[in-house]
Amino acid sequence: SFRDGNMEIFISDSLLNNQKRITWNKVDEIHPCISPDGKRLVFTEGNQADNQTKIVVMNVDGSNRRYITNNKNTFGAIPTFNRDGSKITYAEWHKNPKSGFLSNPYIVVYDFTNEVKTFITNDSFECWRPIFSPNDKGLFYISKENNNQFDVYEHSFKTNQKKNITQSDFEEWDVALSYDEKYLAYAGNKDGNWDLFLLELETGKILQ
C-alpha cells in the first residue's frame, strides 16, 4: 500500500481486517509473497522505473530481513515460493559494470536449504513471471524466445527441458496454475487489450 510517499507492506486476514504494517522506510516494497507456513515473506524492493530492484526475504513480523540478490550489480523482481517454502523462483538480471548496460532478465531458482542459485534460462531472451507447479516438478514462465513476443513456457526439473505451451500470435502474461495442474490461466493481449484465458493442459483446449 502507498504510505508516506512510497509503497509499504502490510499483512492482514483474507477479509482485510486486522491490518498490520510491517515495513517502515523510504523505499518501495511490492509483489509480496507469503511462505506456505506463513512465517516468511519474499518481495521486490526498489524503484521499478530504474530497473534495479532487489529480492528480499524476511519474517512476517519484519525481522531478519536480508537480500537474495546481494551483489550490487545483480537485480531481481516478483519472487514466489514453492510448495514447501524451501525455494523461490524469480526473474533476475545484471548490470555490466564497465558499460552500465542491463542484461535481459532470466529465470533462477534459489534454494534456502543450501543457499544455491540455479539458472533455468539465460539472458539471450527476456523472461519473466516464473511460478512453481504445485507438485514442484517444474516451472511455468513467460519468455520472448519465440518471435520476440511473450509466450508461456514450461520447464521440467526432471528432464531439464523446456516446452512452449501457448505458441500463439499474441503476447501472454501473468501465469497461474490450478492446484490439480489441469488448467493454466493467463492474460493475453489478443485484440489490443489484455483478456483472461484458460488452457486445459491435457487437451490443449483454450477458453477466452
Is residue 14 predicted with pLDDT exceeding 90? no
The per-residue pLDDT for 115 is 95
The per-residue pLDDT for 136 is 92
pLDDT digits 0-9 by tens, 74-99: 999 999 999 999 999 999 999 998 89
pTM: 0.94
Which of the four pLDDT bands, split at 50, 70 and 90, describes residue 153? very high
State what percent of residues in the chain have pLDDT above 90. Answer: 93
- How much is the average pLDDT of 66-73? 95
Is residue 51 predicted with pLDDT exceeding 90? yes
The amino acid sitting at 93 is W
Which of the four pLDDT bands, split at 50, 70 and 90, describes residue 147? confident
d(CA 8, CA 54): 15
Which of the four pLDDT bands, split at 50, 70 and 90, describes residue 107? very high
Q: Tell me how far apart the 2 most distant CA atoms of the chain are, in Å.
A: 49
Is residue 113 predicted with pLDDT exceeding 90? yes
123 exposed, middle or buried (CB, 10 Å; 0-12, 13-18, 19+)? Answer: middle
The per-residue pLDDT for 200 is 95
Q: What is the mean pLDDT of the chain?
A: 95
Which of the four pLDDT bands, split at 50, 70 and 90, describes residue 57? very high
The per-residue pLDDT for 17 is 87
Please give the distance of CA 41 from its chain centroid, rounded to a whole number. 13
Instruction: Determine the Cα angle at 74 with ends 69 and 77, to 5°.
Output: 65
pLDDT digits 0-9 by tens, 165-187: 998 889 999 999 999 999 999 99
